[in-house]
Amino acid sequence: MTYPFNGSVIEAYFTDPDLKNVTVIYEGQDSEGDTKAFEYNMTSDADDPRFAALLEDVSYDQIDTWTRSRHERHREQFREAFQDYANRTNLTASDSTNAMERFLDFFFAFDEEAHKEDLFKLKLAVFDKEHVRESTTKKLKTSIRKSSSPEEVFRHYKKSLK
């Protein structure tokens, strides 16, 4: 069977820690005939014919390499954003370490009551981003507003960047 990504894979990467789902970025034609990049999501189950077709184009090792590379790019973007924040707010090295610890606690040990104010500040910061502020998509703003964790806020923000 032929799938839209056959022969035109740009990148494929695992989207979850258990490596059970894959997103394929491939080149294709839109309805007007223009060449664009598209996403195709699937399970990474060996019995899934879509995944078997993907493995005919790229190796499992290549998917793993692309996944690792993608994660490293995201980590680097986070480091740059944090460093930019530290520079703009004149944080010292000890302030920076303390802020990083607070951020990691906020993000990875989120407590709805203890971090309520920080979550509100995060939402305000996201709403202050130009492309969110000027967006006419009510669904985006509503999803950010109703987010109940920092991870959820970041997920909606990341979707808005696509």
pLDDT digits (tens, 9 = 90+) for 77-119: 988 888 888 777 776 655 556 777 887 888 778 888 888 888 8
Tell me, what's the pLDDT at 41?
A: 97
Q: Do 12 and 63 touch, CB atoms closer than 8 A?
A: yes
Instruction: Compute the distance between CA of residue 140 and CA of residue 159 in angstroms, rounded to an integer.
Output: 9
Query: What is the Cα gyration radius of the chain?
Result: 19
User: Which of 45, 134, 18 shows the shortest CA–CA distance to 160?
Assistant: 134
As beta bridge partners, residue 38 has 26
Tell me, what's the pLDDT at 37?
A: 96
Residues 6+ apart with CB under 8 A from 52: 46
Report whether pLDDT(131) > 90: no
Of 62-71, 83-92, 137-146, the poorest mean pLDDT is in 83-92
Higher pLDDT, 1 or 147: 147
Cut 0.85: pTM above it: no
Give the model's confidence band at 146: pLDDT under 50 very low, under 70 low, under 90 confident, else very high: very high
Higher pLDDT, 24 or 123: 24
How long is the chain? 162
End-to-end CA distance of the chain: 29
Pairing outcome for strands 9-14 and 21-29: antiparallel
User: Which of 162, 144, 140 shows the shortest CA–CA distance to 153?
Assistant: 144
Q: Do 157 and 128 touch, CB atoms closer than 8 A?
A: no
pLDDT digits (tens, 9 = 90+) for 19-46: 999 999 999 999 999 999 999 999 999 8
